[in-house]
Structure 1
Amino acid sequence: MSTMLKWAGNKTAIMPELIKRLPAGPRLVEPFAGSCAVMMSTDYPAYLVADINPDLINLYRVIAEDCENFIALARAVFESMSLAESYYRVREVFNHDQELNRLRRAVYFLYLNRHCYRGLCRYNLQGIFNVPFGNYKEPYFPESEIRAFADKAKRATFICASFEETLEMVQTGDVIYCDPPYDGTFAKYHTAGFTEDEQYLLASLLERMAAQGHTVVVSNSDTALTRSLYRDFKIHTLTAKRSIGVASGEGKAAVEIIAVASPASFERPVRSVISYPSTAMRQI
């Protein structure tokens, strides 16, 4: 099942390999929602889907709450605003209209995603969405994908939160899947982006979650850093398509890892967790 969003790092293409590593469980917890490709391609009884980007979570919540109204407005916007001038006008409103309601903001986020350059989601440090127009001849309106998402969303809870906050909500029996911004690639999907310190913190927290009895599955680039961070996990490698973050001449594929830790792998003390100030859960 494809997703409604164009998304760098979308997992649709590698789902056959990823599904092999995801065990059964009562709920799948995803601290990095992205395009929700994993939710759409799996069949867990329940999902906890989180992301630090409030626009992404707002889109998912709006569709879950009122799919038909969202589709009607989104279709009208797609049909009437296909030129570059319209794109920049929508982007300006999206960035600066403080009175934009949740429904229209969700529609504009989908519109920008489907019309911007390569479907890139990028914000500057002030939280301004700044991706240029993509100049597509016929931008696709993903109505069937929206409807499929709305149906699957009946099983899901969507929260705007950091990965630290999300992992604090894990319950007994939950399976954890993390797809953070990849090491060594574009990572500024939201304001300041995802730093190397956060890569370290995430790996340390996930090791602790495995020690507490949870199966943990992580995707990332195959680099010296990730090999070190997940050295106590079982690492599987694969080659995946990548259109962003690949240098000229390298083609459009890169080697990735799927790191898996089961509870039995961590029946011993784990490395200490890096201490960071806690933050309140983000609200839309």
Structure 2
Amino acid sequence: MKKQRAFLKWAGGKFTLADAIRRVLPPGEKLIEPFVGAGSVFLNTDYDKYLLNDINPDLINLYRTLKRRPRTYINDARDLFVPETNTADAFYALRAQFNASSDIYERSLLFLYLNRHGYNGLCRYNASGGFNVPFGRYKKPYFPEAELEFFAEKSSKATFTCEPFQDSFRRARKGNVVYCDPPYLPLSPTASFTSYAARGFSFEEQALLAKKAKHASRYRHIPVLLSNHDTDEARHLYQGAELTTLQVSRFISQNGATRRKVAELLAYFPAGGVVLQPNAEPSTGIIKKGRKSK
């Protein structure tokens, strides 16, 4: 199947890992994603149904709006991708409009605009919940019309929810498959979590997620696949899983000198919790990860 790009730029997006993830995911009636993000796994798999969740209400409201009113949304969003809106003054005025608005449709339009015009495609909020990513200064931000159309069409198979990841696990039933792509564990003690919503994702939440995955696998016979950085902490949390390591070329910081390959981990807990070789060396693959979608 042809690989499909997400219409949003997204830190930790899974476009380049989609093939590797698809090879590990088992068949099932429905794929549940408690951390859907930009939706690359959704876009590049073929389940009959999807339950797509994220804790960020702006993201989920955009997806629901696009599903309900695809043509109207795409036409209105296109009007924001013109030279007049690609200036610092226009960006900060529209960012202020977004932060002041409580209208779901208006916020959905502006969320796409801010994502494509903001610095590095970041999604970041301050402690008060205000979107605070600076202007990106791109020559001509790309309007992802084809990507929006594909997402809208495929969303007929999807239900979108905005709730804690624990609730997504409660919704899972035998015959479903769960894929979890949480905010990653930091690579070093000084690194920080990327804040996809108004708050971060703590180590305690990482541990709770691993516990939920093991419980679903062993006692509810629901297979669960998780992605994370390949760190000692991750391997400890995911003890008993089938592990696959991937070397991913990623830009670790804004400093070009620190751009290097990073080890990522796929941890698979099969239905029934049975792992044939829990202590086996994980398989490895090399994935080159470039810049985000255009």
Q: CA deviation at 1:246?
A: 8.0
Task: Give the secondary structure class of the aligned counterpart of 1:258.
Answer: strand
User: Residue in 1 aligned with 2:287?
Assistant: none
Q: CA deviation at 1:186?
A: 3.2
**Alpha-carbon separation, structure 1, partners of 2:176 and 2:254:** 34
**1:67 pairs with 64, 67, 70, which one?**
70
**1:11 pairs with 7, 10, 14, which one?**
14
Whether the aligned pair in 2 keeps the contact of 1:246 and 1:252 (CA below 8 Å) is no
Does 2:205 match 1:203?
no
Structure 2 letter corresponding to 1:111 = Y
Does 2:64 match 1:95?
no
Q: CA deviation at 1:182?
A: 0.3
The equivalences for 1:99-248 within 5 A come to 101-184=103-186, 186-211=193-218, 212-244=220-252
Root-mean-square deviation (CA, aligned residues, Å) is 1.5
Whether the aligned pair in 1 keeps the contact of 2:245 and 2:264 (CA below 8 Å) is yes
Does 2:35 match 1:28?
no
User: Residue in 1 aligned with 2:269?
Assistant: 261
Structure 1 letter corresponding to 2:211 = S
Structure 2 letter corresponding to 1:87 = F
**Alpha-carbon separation, structure 2, partners of 1:243 and 1:165:** 33
User: Residue in 1 aligned with 2:5?
Assistant: 2
Q: CA deviation at 1:133?
A: 0.6
Q: CA deviation at 1:46?
A: 0.3
Structure 2 letter corresponding to 1:93 = Q
Task: Give the secondary structure class of the aligned counterpart of 2:81.
Answer: helix
Q: CA deviation at 1:231?
A: 1.3
Whether the aligned pair in 2 keeps the contact of 1:8 and 1:243 (CA below 8 Å) is no
**Alpha-carbon separation, structure 1, partners of 2:252 and 2:109:** 24
Task: Give the secondary structure class of the aligned counterpart of 1:16.
Answer: helix
Whether the aligned pair in 2 keeps the contact of 1:220 and 1:226 (CA below 8 Å) is yes
Aligned length: 265
Task: Give the secondary structure class of the aligned counterpart of 1:263.
Answer: coil
Percent identity of equivalent pairs: 41
Q: CA deviation at 1:48?
A: 0.1
Q: CA deviation at 1:61?
A: 0.3
Structure 1 letter corresponding to 2:126 = N
> Which structure 1 residue ranges, 5 or more long, are not aligned?
268-284
User: Residue in 2 aligned with 1:274?
Assistant: none
Whether the aligned pair in 2 keeps the contact of 1:186 and 1:244 (CA below 8 Å) is no
Structure 2 letter corresponding to 1:227 = R
Deviation digits for residues 77-103 of structure 1 (CA, Å, limit 9, x no counterpart): 1124111111111100111234xx222
**Alpha-carbon separation, structure 2, partners of 1:33 and 1:130:** 22
Task: Give the secondary structure class of the aligned counterpart of 1:151.
Answer: helix
Q: CA deviation at 1:104?
A: 1.6
Q: CA deviation at 1:161?
A: 0.7
**Alpha-carbon separation, structure 1, partners of 2:134 and 2:231:** 30
Structure 2 letter corresponding to 1:31 = P
> Which structure 2 residue ranges, 5 or more long, are not aligned?
187-191, 276-294
The equivalences for 1:49-68 within 5 A come to 49-68=52-71
